[in-house]
Amino acid sequence: MLRLYNTLSRSKEEFHPLDPANVRLYVCGPTVYDFAHIGNARPLIVFDILFRVLRHLYGDAHVTYVRNITDVDDKIILRAAEEGVSIPNLTLRTAEQYHQDAAALSCLAPSHEPRATAYIPAMIAMISRLIENGHAYEAEGHVLFEVASRPDYGKLARRSLDEMIAGARVEVAPYKKNAMDFVLWKPSDAAQPGWGSPWGRGRPGWHIECSAMSEALLGESFDIHGGGIDLVFPHHENEIAQSESAHSGKPPARIWMHNGFLQVEGEKMSKSLGNFFTIHDLLKDWPGEVLRFNMLRTHYRQPTDWTLHGMKESWTTLERFYGIAEPVLATALSADFLAALCDDLNTPLAITELHKCNPAELGGGLGVLGFSVVQDRIAARAPVDPQEIAGAIAARAAARKIRDFAEADRIRDGLAARGIILKDLPTGTTWEVKR
């Protein structure tokens, strides 16, 4: 029995899908204007684990996972202008990079990955419905959601209207009836991306994107909606308000799940502190599966501290697991391992259980966590230390000089086993990493 913590009820609940033949999950995806950072890797990995657990329990063909791409946003407009590139150039390039990062972290591709710009008509239709049934109003080319039209607004965040106004950076604008009213549609000038609408040429607000895309791909009601804890308010609160207002009060998702935040070496990650890491950069030094394993050592709802020390420990543990695990029997699972995962995705406990498993169950368990044991045994390598390699090259040259070719080959093969390939050129020996 799968139990999941529901932010809406602030408690763990038994999971009963609306339709076991089609379990439906929606997770808010990235806004594509820059490389994803290690914090963004957390929801990516956490909800990939959920996807895999659901597939294990209900069958691969019976789970639909939607993760959107936000490709219309003011941050995108700004960045494209700064770089002097077109918006599609920036968003396509960034989305492609995101796919590469996700694949390197062993995340399965979601079933659908809708791009917001491909669903503008669905957004316009939903906004029109909200105006018709009295939950939204047009003002100066904008369409705003009228928060006062929903007495239960704030039920996810569990905050009063006053707290919400104080806590959120609400934009005060003369055309708003209430400071909390949020934008569904806003006008675009000639230089900004825009689409024709009943309210003039403009573009959607961020919140309506997810309501419209989840409705289009998963229906009015689905099982689970996920994202980082920072999205509870206002993003998810607003999604609930919009979708319930458009669907006669029907809640969009039954369970709302949120991952805790990640910080780095005890501090909030920020560019100014110099502790800001993109996934792309970390992958130059660490195999993706070590990043993934490191993330799973903390329960997804806890805050997590990403440290160099923790990464090294993760590498050692994973290598040891790979050394013991038996592939093939991916279906063999220890009951305690599965019970840990089914208890609100308790991956740290599941990893503790893996330490007790026999080789077949260990292989099976790693498989469910997204580690492909056969390939990853090859992929698990010691970190590359250029100084150490220079030393090994010198030792090999010295061995060759005294015609100790056995020793020279032993050094070369030892490096090759770690993916470090030596190349003898007329100018000397160089090396490259083949991973």
Site of interaction with ligand AMP (CB under 6 A): 28, 30-31, 39-40, 42-43, 227-228, 230-231, 259, 261-262, 269
- Give me the torsion for CA of 32, 33, 34, 38, rounded to 10°: -40
Q: Rounded CA gap, 9 and 158, in Å?
A: 10
Q: Which residues have CB under 8 Å from 24's CB, separation 6+?
A: 17, 18, 63, 64, 66, 218, 219, 222, 223, 224
Closest to ligand AMP by CB, 26 vs 222, is: 26
Q: Rounded CA gap, 341 and 310, in Å?
A: 22
Q: Rounded CA gap, 435 and 432, in Å?
A: 10
The token duo for 5 is 């913590």
Give yes or no for residue 342 binding Zn ion (CB under 5 A): no
Instruction: Give the angle 250-12-45 at the CA atoms, nearest 5°.
Output: 90
231 DSSP assignment? G
Question: Cβ of residue 259: shortest distance to ligand AMP, in angstroms?
Answer: 6
Q: Rounded CA gap, 433 and 435, in Å?
A: 6
**Of 152, 147, 120, 151, which Cα lies nearest the Cα of 136?**
147
Which residue in the set 8, 23, 27, 28 belongs to the binding site for Zn ion (CB under 5 A)?
28
Cβ(148)–Cβ(136) below 8 Å: no
Give yes or no for residue 27 binding Zn ion (CB under 5 A): no
Question: Cβ of residue 261: shortest distance to ligand AMP, in angstroms?
Answer: 4
- Concatenating the DSSP letter of every residue in 1-46 gives --EEEETTTTEEEE---S-TTSEEEEE---BSSS--BTTTHHHHHH
Question: Cβ of residue 361: shortest distance to Zn ion, in angstroms?
Answer: 37
Partner from Zn ion, ligand AMP, none binding residue 369, C-beta < 5-8 Å depending on class: none
Q: Rounded CA gap, 203 and 212, in Å?
A: 14
Closest to ligand AMP by CB, 262 vs 420, is: 262
Q: Which stretch binds Zn ion (CB under 5 A): 57-65, 210-218, 352-360, 400-408?
A: 210-218
Strands (E), 91-172: 136-139, 142-145
Closest to ligand AMP by CB, 267 vs 385, is: 267
Give yes or no for residue 210 binding Zn ion (CB under 5 A): yes
Closest to Zn ion by CB, 65 vs 337, is: 65
How many beta carbons lie within 10 A of that of residue 103, not counting itself?
A: 12
Q: Which stretch binds Zn ion (CB under 5 A): 24-32, 139-147, 304-312, 346-354?
A: 24-32
Question: Cβ of residue 114: shortest distance to Zn ion, in angstroms?
Answer: 11
Q: Which stretch binds Zn ion (CB under 5 A): 23-31, 57-65, 92-100, 250-258?
A: 23-31
Question: Cβ of residue 433: shortest distance to Zn ion, in angstroms?
Answer: 38
Partner from ligand AMP, Zn ion, none binding residue 210, C-beta < 5-8 Å depending on class: Zn ion
CA distances for 163 relative to 80, 154, 169, angstroms: 35, 10, 11
Q: Which stretch binds Zn ion (CB under 5 A): 22-30, 35-43, 163-171, 215-223?
A: 22-30
Question: Cβ of residue 231: shortest distance to ligand AMP, in angstroms?
Answer: 5
Partner from ligand AMP, Zn ion, none binding residue 261, C-beta < 5-8 Å depending on class: ligand AMP
Question: Cβ of residue 325: shortest distance to Zn ion, in angstroms?
Answer: 37
Give yes or no for residue 218 binding Zn ion (CB under 5 A): no
Which residue number places its CB atom closest to ligand AMP? 228
CA distances for 179 relative to 146, 169, 369, angstroms: 10, 10, 44
Closest to ligand AMP by CB, 43 vs 287, is: 43
Q: Which helix (H) or strand (E) holds 354?
A: helix 347-354
Contacts with Zn ion by CB under 5 A lie at 28, 210
